Chain A
Amino acid sequence: MSAPLVRLRGVYKRFGPVVALDGADFELAAGEIHGLLGENGAGKTTLMNVLAGLYRADAGDLEVAGRPVSIREPRDAVRLGVGMVHQHFELVGHFTALENVILGREGSGWLRRDRLRREVEALMERVGLAVPLDRRVRDLPVGVQQKVEILKALYRGARVLILDEPTTLLTPQEVDALFASLRTLVDAGVSVVFITHKLQEVLRSCDRVTVMRRGRRVVTVDREEADPVRLVEWMVGTAPPPPPAREATRPGSPVLELEAVRVVDQRGVAVLDGCSLAVHEGELVGVAGVSGNGQQALAAVVAGTARPAAGVLRIRGRPAAGHGVLDRMRAGVLSIPEDRLRDGILPRMSVAENVILGRHRLYFPGVRYDPETSRRLARHAIDEFRIVCPGPDAAAGQLSGGNLQRLIAARVFHAAREREARLLVAHNPTRGLDVPSTEFLHARLVEFCGKGGAVLLISEDLDELLKLADRIVVLYRGRVVAQFPRDQFDRYAIGRAMTGGVPA
């Protein structure tokens, strides 16, 4: 093999006491799609952030096109033709797609702008990615925002394109389209690093795979040498636990009923519009849909943070449309929020204070707050949910994403036990989690259902829904447009319904 396009050798990086990269190696060949696979905290994103200039390595050698380079800041990486599309997009919401793509090179006046526009249009043509250039980015679906990010990187001259978990938010059709456009990009001379922890995607789309674990490379193999069992073994070190078996449940009485519920957001837009669905005791109902079709409003209206403008909402048969969060909690409704940083975590407060959130009035019905009680609960949660943290008094904001989700899961499932909760709303509960954490959470959801609890699982990961749900409903433009009982699950039929097509 000729000299790789990018070579990282012995990269070492620590954050305080945490060693994120422990002598990691990586090679990217020209003209390949290279999957970078590993659990959360394996160091995939950190390693690529070193290449993209966001982090500076403590030690290690970087080579681009056979020449040793030093990348101190993102500008250096851009100069070397390295572009990265992050999991959380870095777009200016109230700029148009075009303004985002040319950000930093706007020049001045309309003449120049017209020329830049033609450049971007030519680029879109060449690489087969089309976006509406004049729409504001914040009004665009996530899948399109991602294309804007990719165009931005390419426009800045990226020959190496790093994509961090790019398929998380996409429909199956969009994923297919993304993989197709990646091939077109490769044909146009771009090399792609594809960070993921989804095995199927690696096997489908990549030419080679590097598996990382605990800050080091485990192996780099051609796709032909990789199969799911071996990949998982490389990732986790041991065979994965078997997936939780979902037995066909005999649904009991309805726990949650929505009839023609309408929710209007602050802009006056109806984000839920005539949404009807029901979840019964012991039933796990999956809500599929492309993000932005009312999932947030559905979660909010059930959790009690949003009130319906019209329609009927019943919890265990009782009308509850006008109730707030506390009433919901008393009625036995718990929720795992979609955005754990935004809606789930008190970042500057301790792990203990976070674990007890939502249960604090149960434990402290009077005036006094007892930190020792919170610490005791937190120690219990840390043990049972294997939360990696310095201790109950550590600031929650220091925890990694996976551990934050374990913390929230501990809070919710402990509360479920204490309050005899009947309904759990979980919105993208495993997004960005590693395999063991995902399995762990799935097992908890199944266990909750097994005890007669009802689960409304709103997820953009269709595989998750296919694995767990008794029934999948598809949310499109604020209403349920299709239902699939478990024996009629069909990935592509669901996907068509998600994009507004008539279900087959």
Chain B
Amino acid sequence: MTTEAAARGRWQVVWPYAGALAIALALLAALVAMLGGDAAQALAGLVRSSLGSGAGLGQTFNKTTPLLLGSLAVILGLRGGVFNIGVDGQIYAGAVAATGAAFLLSTGPKGAVLPVVLLAGLAGGAVWGSLPGVLRARLGVSEIFVTVMLNFVAVFLVEYLSTGPWNDPTAGEAITRAIPPQATLPYLWPRAGAHAGILLALAAAAGVWWLLFRTVFGYELRAAGDNPSAALLGGVPVRRAVGLALVASGALAGLAGAVEVSGFHYRLILGLSPGYGMMAILIAVLSRRHPVLAVPAAMGFAALLVGTDSLQRSVGLPASAVFVVQAVVLLVLLATEGVRRGAP
């Protein structure tokens, strides 16, 4: 391909995103105006509260972490041809495992406890992903049903733990006792309140890229996801690859759960994931299943969440409006994609 064509191709990729962003902002402005607010001021406030200030940026980083890890989980699944819509359940499973590990190791040195807690999160998510993985690989059971069902199981498990054995009796809520300080993630940027999870998420993005594009396993995973029958005839152990895709996908989501516990909440809480799993699917689609593009996509999403959250306070924008805006962004992107490709 000539560089000229490549450059043109790159612009064709960029403009739907720009268009979607413009439409999303216009819609937001319209919503604010409808509510009687000053649209320009609100938009400026949105940018300032999410990206334009230290504290805002810190919040955006913290929100980026679970979104990025979750979308990487979805991407890994999609590349292997499986639709993991159980990221929320795997986040909870990882959070449970991480919290449990933190309670068990409450006396150890920080240098040892924190890695174990994070690994426990990975393992918890992996276990949650292995169930649909094994069922899919061995029996051909659709991962969609199994992962959705396991979402409920995980939520009930968290409800039981946070109100039962691990309950914090002083709180009077469905939250557990705080984890010991040795199990907490250090701050990356203390003044902004940003924990080091973003570094883990960025490393995970690089790792997923490496896994997908620079390992034989990743090659076979992509082959199995692209066309299972051709991959099978090419000697790829398709069922194993697809099953492992779900396990690895679950592990990434589990890490997100562990980071939320050890970096943000310092405990297991029932509302740990406000639908990160669903947003992760949107981000995975927006980033065209590419782990590196998922970084800006997740960050943009996080900024939108943080910014609209502040609008909720400053101009009284209803929380559901945020989801409307997110949905519109996605629809605009999908529509522009369709137009760009053109009818056959």
Contact = CB atoms under 8 A, between A and B. Distances in A.
24 contacts: A303-B233, A325-B232, A325-B234, A325-B235, A329-B235, A342-B227, A342-B229, A342-B230, A344-B233, A346-B231, A347-B227, A348-B226, A349-B226, A357-B230, A357-B231, A357-B234, A357-B236, A358-B235, A360-B216, A367-B217, A368-B215, A369-B214, A370-B214, A391-B1
A394 interface: yes
A173 interface: no
A303 B229 CA distance: 12
Nearest to A336: B233
Nearest to A397: B226
A195 B232 CA distance: 34
A353 B231 CA distance: 11
Contact of A305 (B5, B226, B232): B232
Contacts of A305: 229, 232-233
Contacts of B218: 369
Contacts of A357: 223, 230-231, 234, 236
Nearest to A335: B233
A371 B216 contact: no
Interface in B219-253: 219-220, 222-223, 226-227, 229-237
A346 B226 contact: yes
Contact of A344 (B217, B230, B237): B230
A347 B215 contact: no
Nearest to B238: A325
A367 B216 CA distance: 6
A20 to B, nearest CB: 13
Contacts of B216: 360-361, 364, 366-369
Nearest to B214: A369
A268 interface: no
A247 interface: no
Interface string A329-363: 10000010100001111111100010001101100
A75 B157 CA distance: 57
A104 interface: no
B215 A346 contact: no
A46 to B, nearest CB: 12
Given A335-B233, A360-B234, 17 more contacts: A305-B229, A325-B232, A325-B233, A343-B230, A343-B233, A345-B227, A346-B223, A353-B222, A357-B230, A357-B236, A360-B220, A361-B216, A361-B235, A369-B214, A369-B216, A369-B218, A394-B1
B98 to A, nearest CB: 28
Contacts of B152: none
A305 B235 CA distance: 10
Contacts of B227: 342, 345-347
Interface in A390-440: 390-391, 393-394
A134 B259 CA distance: 62
Nearest to B223: A346
A197 B292 CA distance: 47
Interface string B190-228: 000000000000000000000001111111101100110
Interface of A: 303, 305, 325-326, 329, 335, 337, 342-349, 353, 357-358, 360-361, 364, 366-371, 390-391, 393-394
Nearest to B224: A346
Nearest to A339: B229
A303 B219 CA distance: 22
A84 to B, nearest CB: 16
A343 B227 CA distance: 8
A447 B229 CA distance: 28
Given A368-B214, A369-B214, A345 B1 contact: no
Contact of A360 (B5, B219, B226, B237): B219
Interface residues of B, number: 23
Binding site secondary structure of chain B: helix
Contacts of A348: 226
User: Which one of A337, A346, A361 has the greatest number of beta carbons of chain B within 10 Å?
Assistant: A346
Contacts of A368: 214-216
Contacts of A366: 216
A442 to B, nearest CB: 22
A394 to B, nearest CB: 7
Contacts of B220: 360
B214 A343 contact: no
Contacts of A345: 227, 230
A325 B1 CA distance: 35
A481 B290 CA distance: 53
User: Which one of A305, A349, A369 has the greatest number of beta carbons of chain B within 10 Å?
Assistant: A369
Nearest to A357: B234
A390 to B, nearest CB: 5
Nearest to A54: B344
A426 B9 CA distance: 37
Nearest to A367: B215
A402 to B, nearest CB: 18
User: Which one of B1, B227, B230 has the greatest number of beta carbons of chain A within 10 Å?
Assistant: B230
User: Which one of B1, B219, B232 has the greatest number of beta carbons of chain A within 10 Å?
Assistant: B219
A305 B239 CA distance: 13
Contacts of B235: 325-326, 329, 358, 361
A226 B218 CA distance: 55
B217 A347 contact: no
B109 to A, nearest CB: 32
Closest 7 CB pairs of A and B: A357-B234, A358-B234, A346-B226, A369-B219, A326-B235, A364-B216, A343-B229
B233 A393 contact: no
Given A342-B229, A357-B234, A390 B217 contact: no
Contacts of B233: 303, 305, 325, 335, 337, 343-344, 358
A368 B227 CA distance: 22
Contacts of A347: 226-227
A276 B222 CA distance: 37
Nearest to A348: B226
User: Which one of A345, A358, A393 has the greatest number of beta carbons of chain B within 10 Å?
Assistant: A358
B11 to A, nearest CB: 15
Nearest to A345: B230
Contacts of A326: 235, 237
A305 to B, nearest CB: 6
A478 B230 CA distance: 24
B20 to A, nearest CB: 23
A338 to B, nearest CB: 11
A346 B235 CA distance: 13
Contacts of A367: 215-217
A343 B234 CA distance: 9
